[in-house]
Amino acid sequence: MNKNILVLLPVEARHREKLEAAGEGCRFVYSSPDQVSAEQIRAANIILGQPDAAQLQASPNLEWLQLASAGTDAYIEPGVLGPQTVLTNATGAYSKAVSEHAFALTLMLMKKLHLYRDEQNRKNWSDRGTVSSLADSTVAVVGLGDIGRAYARLVKAMGAYVIGVKRRAGNCPDCADELVMTQDLDSVLPRADVIMSILPNTAETRYIYTDERFDKMKAGALFINCGRGNAVASEVLLRAISEHKIAAAAIDVTETEPLPADSPLWGLENLVITPHISGNFHLPETFERIVDIAAGNLKAFLAGDELRSTVDFTTGYAK
């Protein structure tokens, strides 16, 4: 099948060989999101990678867009993709990287390693008191998708009781001890020693963590957000920590990114901030997974077979 394929991934020669073997007979053009031309985008039947959504403008030639991200926010907005365009995301590529980052943040807060790092920087030999353990703790994983399940397996292996929270009912997976729906989140919060949020950006999840919900959490609870920053407003998180509604928090995402230099969040002792780096391609294996997903889907698309992780435009989730 003779298709014009635009690749916007930072591929090496071996990746090109893999993609071109999957798309035998197609014409390949390689560029990057910041250098691609409008003409290249208009000519493409297939795009592999992350174009600027504003450049797509419902291109009539675009039959399929394979994203390099799990998030689909910008691409499901009306007018970005035409009705003929299939959208797939990279669900599965980021589970190891993000789950391990969230797991590391969990142990950091439990063992107060962030406080000891501060003391080290002050050259101060100081005992910061009692710590907690994952063993026999209750961990709520809010967003039990691919990343959430990977994180749940890690904490469960350490002896935690895991409550999975997801939007649709179903059988409780092996990585969790209990499964509840998102609409029942309020019943879970008072029970959890750790709340790990890995929610996407949807109408239902924006600002889901309100003052009232932080009021329901234990005073000793830990809150971790590696999903989307707009799940909680900055001022709400500030109040939750500074007013001791919770013990500590760690976030890889913020409501506004980059986090402004004058944000009071920077100054909170019991808040760990990382600059949205848990995913991306920082773990090299993540990019290898993305190329494998793209190559597998390309082969399937050209054969007329079902694609992996096709996105439902009404929800933003993979079907």
Report the candidate in 273, 259, 277, 278 with the shortest Cα–Cα distance to residue 117.
Answer: 273
Contacts 24+ apart (CB under 8 A), 203-212: 204/167, 205/231, 206/230, 206/231, 207/231, 207/232, 207/233, 207/236, 208/232, 209/236, 209/237, 210/236, 211/236, 211/239, 211/240
Instruction: For 217-272, write each residue's pLDDT tens digit.
Output: 999 999 999 999 999 999 999 999 999 999 999 999 999 999 999 999 999 999 99
Question: Using an 8 Å Cβ cutoff, are 45 and 4 in contact?
Answer: yes
Question: Using an 8 Å Cβ cutoff, are 67 and 86 in contact?
Answer: no
Looking at residue 139, what DSSP letter applies?
E
Instruction: For 186-219, write each residue's pLDDT tens digit.
Output: 999 999 999 999 999 988 999 999 999 999 999 9
Tell me how far apart the alpha carbons of residues 290 and 306 are, in angstroms, rounded to a whole number.
Answer: 18
Instruction: For 79-98, write each residue's pLDDT tens digit.
Output: 999 999 999 999 999 999 99
pLDDT of residue 316: 85
Provide the residue count of the chain: 319
Place of tokens 């590391």: 104
Spell out the domain ranges in the chain: 4-89+284-303, 95-269
Instruction: For 290-319, write each residue's pLDDT tens digit.
Output: 999 999 999 999 999 999 999 998 888 888
- Which CATH architecture group holds 95-269? 3-Layer(aba) Sandwich (3.40)
SS3 sequence, 31-73?
CCCCCCCHHHHHHCCEEECCCCHHHHCCCCCCCEEECCCCCCH
Asked whether residue 1 carries a pLDDT value surpassing 80, the answer given is no
Residue 252 in tokens: 């890889």
Reduce the DSSP state of residue 252 to 3 states and report it: coil
Instruction: For 14-47, write each residue's pLDDT tens digit.
Output: 999 999 999 999 999 999 999 999 999 999 999 9
Instruction: For 114-144, write each residue's pLDDT tens digit.
Output: 999 999 999 999 999 999 999 999 999 999 9
Task: For the beta carbon of residue 71, count every other beta carbon within 10 angstroms.
Answer: 16
Tell me how far apart the alpha carbons of residues 97 and 204 are, in angstroms, rounded to a whole number.
Answer: 26
* For helices 95-110 and 113-121, angle between their N-to-C axes, nearest 10 degrees: 70
Residue 251 in tokens: 């976030």
Residue 253 in tokens: 């995402």
Looking at residue 167, what DSSP letter applies?
S
Q: Does domain 4-89+284-303 have CATH number 3.40.50.720?
A: yes
Question: Using an 8 Å Cβ cutoff, are 16 and 30 in contact?
Answer: yes
**Cα(first)–Cα(last) distance of the chain, in Å?**
26
Residue 311 in tokens: 């996105």
Task: For the beta carbon of residue 181, count every other beta carbon within 10 angstroms.
Answer: 12
Does 4-89+284-303 match 95-269 in CATH topology?
Answer: yes
Q: What is the CA radius of gyration of the chain?
A: 21
Tell me how far apart the alpha carbons of residues 99 and 196 are, in angstroms, rounded to a whole number.
Answer: 10
pLDDT of residue 290: 98
Asked whether residue 277 carries a pLDDT value surpassing 90, the answer given is yes
Asked whether residue 71 carries a pLDDT value surpassing 80, the answer given is yes
Question: Using an 8 Å Cβ cutoff, are 163 and 177 in contact?
Answer: yes
Question: Using an 8 Å Cβ cutoff, are 265 and 254 in contact?
Answer: yes
Looking at residue 135, what DSSP letter applies?
T
Tell me how far apart the alpha carbons of residues 248 and 139 are, in angstroms, rounded to a whole number.
Answer: 15
Question: Using an 8 Å Cβ cutoff, are 248 and 109 in contact?
Answer: yes
